[in-house]
Amino acid sequence: MKHVRYLWYLLRHKWFVFVAGLRTGAPMWRLIIHDWSKFLPCEWFPYVEYFYGSGKNGREAKGDYDAANTGDAAFDRAWLHHQHVNAHHWQHWVLCQDNGETKFLRMPDNFLREMVADWMGAGRAITGKWEVVDWYWKNQYKIQLHPETRMSVLSVMYAANEPKEQPA
């Protein structure tokens, strides 16, 4: 049953990202293949166990977990894999250099628009609301972005969040 629950969440998330991506202007192809790697065994099984398993880490997908302190090595590896193969995650654009310094690379526009759609879609799938602006301002200090990328994120996020005119 836990696999069915995760599948249901994942499909809802993908649908809401698709809908949000139409508002952010993300490329259609990116929206179709969004989060494809979550269907791979290396991500699927750790995600199912972490969010829906019966062990000490079992919990519903609520988005309020502490990604830095999961206590679950399998989930941490799955999350790292997901970030590395999905360029719509800001972590994909953080370069840890050999000298110990961290460099923040500028995110290409197509991935940036998909990232904002991902945030919007996750919020809608988890809370039932489109609340990306409030979520962003609460979490902005955790999100490490190139300064130009941050300005673009704000622009895309506010444009996508504006109410659209209803047809007369």
H or E element, residue 52: helix 41-52
Distance of CA 84 to the CA centre of its chain: 13
pTM of the model: 0.87
User: Mean pLDDT across the chain, nearest whole number?
Assistant: 89
In the chain, where are the structural domains located?
A: 2-64+71-161
Average pLDDT over residues 31-53: 94
C-alpha closest to that of 137 among 125, 148, 153 = 153
- CA distances to 13, 44, 91, 120, 122 from 40, rounded to whole Å, are 17, 6, 20, 23, 19
Q: Catalogue the E-assigned strands of the chain.
A: 94-96, 102-104
Band (18; pLDDT cuts 50, 70, 90): very high
* pLDDT digits 0-9 by tens, 86-131: 999 999 999 999 999 999 999 999 999 999 999 999 989 888 888 8
Report residue 67's pLDDT band, with 50, 70 and 90 as the boundaries.
Answer: low
Give the confidence band of 154 by pLDDT, cuts at 50, 70, 90.
very high
Q: For 126-138, what is the mean pLDDT?
A: 89
Give the model's confidence band at 65: pLDDT under 50 very low, under 70 low, under 90 confident, else very high.
Answer: low
| Per-residue confidence (pLDDT) for residue 63, from 0 to 100 | 52
pLDDT given for residue 53 in this prediction = 86
